[in-house]
Structure 1
C-alpha cells in the first residue's frame, strides 16, 4: 500500500531492477547432520561440484565448497555458503551467500525427504557476493546479487540476478 512518503521518492527508488546473471546448479553430498549444539541445530552440505551458466559468465563449481545450515526454532533454515567458481576461460571466482528457506511444515518435511515439491510452495532466497581477480570479471566485485532457489534431492538450483 503506497504511502505519501513512498510516493515522494524518485522513480529509481520505488522499484528494484535486476538483470539475469546466471543459473547455478550445485551437487551436494548427503547432508551431514551435526545436530544440537550449544547454539542452534546444525547441518552441513559438502559441495563437490556444480555448474553455472549465463550470458556474461559460465563455468563449474569446484570441489571443496560447502553449505553450512542452521535449522531455527521457527522451522526455517538459514544458509552460509562458500563456493569456488571456475569460469569456462579458467578464472577462479569466490562466491559467498547467505540465504533463508522456509515454508509450510509439510512442504519442508517433503523437501527434507528428497521429494519433489513445487518451488512456489516455499520461500528460498539468497544474496550472493563475489570476489574476483583483476581482469575480465572484476566487475563482479561491485555487484550485489539476489537469487531464488529450489531444492532437488541432489542439491539446489538458483536463478541469480544482478541488482542494478
Structure 2
C-alpha cells in the first residue's frame, strides 16, 4: 500500500488551445495556461500566467499525453516551478463529450499526473525532495487536480 497525504488542489485556466495538427507522433495541440490557483494545508497561491503551457499529444491509441510546465507563486511571494507529465483516456463517447466542453464525471475516464517541483526558496525547500502524484478532472475552463505527496 502506498501512503500519501494531500499537497494541494490546483485549478488551471486554459482559455485557448492551438491545434498544430497530425504529426508523425499524433495530433499535437498546445494549450496556454494563463492563470490559476492552488490551495493546500502547507502551501497556497496563484499560477503565474506567463510563461505556462501544456504540450498535448493525442496518440493514435486514443491516449492524450500531457507535458505541462507552470510557475506557482505562493501567497507569501515565493516561486515554485511545477512540471508534470500525465495521461488522459477513456471510452470514446466520454472523451468526445469532454472535447465538446461538457462536464463529465471524472470517474468515467482516467486522468493522472506525476508532478515534480523546483524552488530556491528555503521555506519550501522540502518540495524539492518529494514524489507527488495527482488525479485530474477536466472542466470547461481548464483542468483541476488533487495533488498528493507520496510518503
Using the size of structure 2 for normalisation, the TM-score is 0.97
Identify the residue that residue 25 of structure 1 maps to in structure 2.
Answer: 11
- SS of 2:49's equivalent in the other structure is coil
**What does 1:51-62 correspond to in 2, within 5 Å?**
51-62=37-48
Shift, 1:132, TM fit: 1.0
In 2, Cα distance between the equivalents of 1:107 and 1:63? Answer: 29
Flag the structure with higher strand content.
2
Please state if 1:92 is matched with 2:69.
no
Taking the TM superposition and a 5 Å limit, the aligned residue runs for 1:69-80 are 69-80=56-67
Q: Is the 8 A contact 2:10 2:146 kept in 1?
A: yes
The equivalent residue for 1:16 is: 2
In the alignment, structure 1 residue 146 sits paired with structure 2 residue 133: yes
- Distance between the aligned counterparts of 2:6 and 2:137, measured in 1? 17
**What is the CA-CA distance between 1:39 and the residue it aligns to?**
3.0
Matched residue SS, 1:62: strand
1:157 aligned residue? 144
* Corresponding residue number in structure 2 for 1:5: none
Deviations 1:111-143 (A, max 9, x none): 001011000000000000000114100000001
Match of 1:4 in 2: none
Deviation at 1:36, TM superposition (A): 1.1
Larger mean CA deviation between 79-88 and 133-142 belongs to 133-142
RMSD across aligned C-alpha pairs, in angstroms? 0.8
Once the 2 structures are TM-superposed, how far is the Cα of residue 41 of structure 1 from its aligned partner?
1.2
Q: State the Cα distance separating 1:159 from its structure 2 match.
A: 0.3
Whole-angstrom distance in 2 between the partners of 1:76 and 1:37 = 15
CA distance in structure 1 between the aligned counterparts of 2:13 and 2:43, rounded to whole angstroms: 19
* Counterpart among 109, 116, 131 of residue 96 in structure 2: 109
**SS across alignment from 2:2:** coil
Give the alignment partner of residue 35 of structure 1, picking from 11, 21, 24: 21
